[in-house]
Amino acid sequence: MSDDIKTYFNGLLEKVSGLHVIQITDRDGVPLLRVGQEKNVDFALMPSFIPTFTTACDQASKLGLGRNKTIISMYSNYQVVQMNKLPLILTFVGAENCNTGHILALEQQVDGYLEDIKQAVTESQTHA
Amino acid sequence: METQLEKVLSDIVTQPDTVGALLANRQGLCLGVKGDINPNVSGIGMAISDQVAGLEPRNAVAQPEARHPTICLYSGNRRCVIQRNGEITGVIYKQHTSAPTSD
């Protein structure tokens, strides 16, 4: 099962030019799956990175525009697209000129592949 | 601010057989949409344009401004036309009203 998911996300990485890393974590930043070989984007796995997104997402949801789904952060050398798929957080790290619209279009496609991981995380949280 | 953009889109969708149109910026983000077309198509349309530009890499050297060709995708009774001009990519959906001739 996890091999299928990894193969699928590796395929996505090849389809979107300029995309370096895709990573799935829980809302505390615990890594569940990571695809991509780029070594310079380890900042996306820093302990503070994902929880900061979770906090920003919670705050953005209070703006009266509905639940916040995605945050796009543009930096000088990278862009980071983070998707709120609670209990999971999906993080895409790409080059600054990477096709952001293409990454956003993946949102609906990946849902089917995340169901099993979501279920596993939910179960582990209820047993904890 | 986007009045001009909306006017261009309105002009496009009033053309015969056209059912929808959108414009995307250089990041593949949708700038405007009119008619029956999903805004999520903006990123995919730009990705297709980039891929197809790779079919004729010599064009990129000879005519850098005309690097991206106009693409027409046929599926069922619909056509999807993708054209890139500088930083702006346009995606137009057209519906066949009559069968295409085969000459």
When pLDDT is averaged across residues A112-127 and rounded to a whole number, the result is 80
CATH of the domain at B85: 3.30.450.30
Lowest-confidence segment of A19-28, A66-75, A100-109, B92-101 by average pLDDT: B92-101
Domain count within chain B: 1
CB-nearest to B29 from A16, A17, A100 is A100
How far is B26 from B46, CA to CA, in rounded Å?
Answer: 8
Q: Which two tokens stand for residue B101?
A: 């001739």
* ipTM of the prediction: 0.80
Inside any domain, residue B62? yes
- Do the Cβ atoms of A102 and B30 come within 8 Å? no
Size of interface A-B (CB pairs under 8 A): 41
Inside any domain, residue B53? yes
When pLDDT is averaged across residues B19-23 and rounded to a whole number, the result is 94
- Residue B30 has a pLDDT of 93
Q: Is B16 left (phi over 0), alpha (psi -120 to 50) or beta?
A: beta
- Do the Cβ atoms of B30 and A101 come within 8 Å? yes
The model carries a pTM of 0.85
When pLDDT is averaged across residues B36-47 and rounded to a whole number, the result is 92
Per-residue pLDDT tens over the stretch A84-99: 988 899 999 999 999 9
Inside any domain, residue B76? yes
- Do the Cβ atoms of A99 and B46 come within 8 Å? yes
- Residue B100 has a pLDDT of 54
> Would you say residue B66 has pLDDT above 70?
no
- Do the Cβ atoms of B47 and A17 come within 8 Å? yes
What residues make up the domain containing A61?
Answer: 2-127
CATH of the domain at A55: 3.30.450.30
Inside any domain, residue B102? no
Burial class (CB in 10 A: 0-12, 13-18, 19+), A107: middle
Domain count within chain A: 1
Chain A environment of B46 (Cβ under 8 Å): 99, 101-102
When pLDDT is averaged across residues B57-69 and rounded to a whole number, the result is 70
Q: Can you tell me which residue has the tokens 């344009």?
A: B49
> Would you say residue B20 has pLDDT above 90?
yes
Per-residue pLDDT tens over the stretch A97-115: 999 999 999 988 888 888 8
Inside any domain, residue B100? no
When pLDDT is averaged across residues A25-48 and rounded to a whole number, the result is 81
pLDDT classification of B61: cutoffs 50, 70, 90: low
Burial class (CB in 10 A: 0-12, 13-18, 19+), A51: middle
- Do the Cβ atoms of A104 and B40 come within 8 Å? yes
> Would you say residue B81 has pLDDT above 90?
yes
What residues make up the domain containing B44?
Answer: 3-8+17-95
Q: A101 to chain B nearest CA, in Å?
A: 4
- Residue A116 has a pLDDT of 81
Inside any domain, residue B101? no
Q: A99 to chain B nearest CA, in Å?
A: 5
Inside any domain, residue B78? yes
Inside any domain, residue B54? yes
